[in-house]
Amino acid sequence: MAYDKFTVLRDTAVPLPTENVDTDQIIPARFLKATERTGFGDNLFRDWRYDVEGNPKKDFVLNDPTYSGKILVAGKNFGSGSSREHAVWALYDYGFRCVVSSFFADIFKNNCLNIGVLPVTVSPEFADKLFAAIEADPKTEIEVNLPEQKITLLSTGEFETFDINEYKKSNMQNGFDDIDYLLNMSDEIEAFAASR
């Protein structure tokens, strides 16, 4: 479905430097039982965020009021494992609009782009700079500029450019999704299907 337009996002960020965070951590399978796309944010990082009795675990970053913002800065190989789009729904529902990492799992990255959460791949060095800056000052702001494909650490002005294909970029900026595109070429698809 059409989603929020993304152009420039300027906000504080939540750091999660753990590597290889898989989608079972982002949203455990037992919370995939809904038949609608609502309420997944409550169970985002469920088993890292809450103990078995449902009490918040103090040492987990989402329970630390020091950190907030619509940007999640994550460790490398973020989103590996299951193809569950629910992982991105949970991030979105919690309030994240952008995930930054030095390395994303493939399907997760596609899923992000398909619902309008921007995945930004940075160099490992830049990711380390972001983690250090957030640790030094949790109120430090990051600017993610999609039209210019640029991510900037505002406190120092340091920036990197990032890749995104023109098609997906245009979709994100306009809030279009792939089905809008595909439905507009039904005749071409029908002809192709008929030839098979």
Partner 1 sequence: MEKTTLFDKIWDSHVVRHVPAGPDVFFIDKHFIHEVTSPVAFLNLEKRGIGVKYPHRTIATPDHNVPTVDQDQTIKDKLSRMQVEKLRENCKKYGIELHDLGTAHHGIVHVIGPELGVTQPGMTIVCGDSHTSTHGAFGAIAFGIGTSEVEMVLATQCIMQSKPKKMRISVEGELGKGVTSKDIILYIISKISAAGATGYFVEYAGSAIQSLSMEARMTICNMSIEMGARGGLIAPDETTFNYLKWRQYAPKGEDWEKAVAFWKSLKTDEGAVFDKEYHFDAADIEPMITYGTNPGMGIKVKDRIPTAEGLEGSNKASFLKSLDYMGFEPGEPVKGKQVDYVFVGSCTNGRIEDIRAVAEFVKGKKKAENITAWIVPGSREVEKMAHEEGLVKILEEAGFELRQPGCSACLAMNDDKIPAGKYAVSTSNRNFEGRQGPGARTMLASPLTVAAVAVTGRITDPREVFEN
Binding site for partner 1 (CB under 8 A): 1, 17-20, 22, 24-25, 28-30, 32-37, 47, 52, 75-77, 80-86, 88, 103-107, 110-111, 114-115, 128, 165-168, 177-179, 181-183, 185-186, 188-189, 192-193, 196
Rg (CA), the chain: 18
Nearer to partner 1, 157 or 163 (CB): 163
Nearest to 23 by CA among 119, 97, 127, 105: 105
Which of residues 143 and 148 has its CB atom nearest to partner 1 in the complex?
A: 148
The answer to whether the CB of 175 falls within 8 A of the CB of 116 is: yes
In Å, the largest CA–CA distance within the chain is: 61
Tell me the closest approach of the beta carbon of residue 97 to partner 1, in angstroms: 17
Please give the C-alpha separations between residue 195 and each of 94, 182, 187, 188, 192, in angstroms, as whole numbers: 45, 18, 13, 11, 5
CB of 154 or CB of 185, closer to partner 1: 185
CB of 27 to partner 1, least distance (A): 11
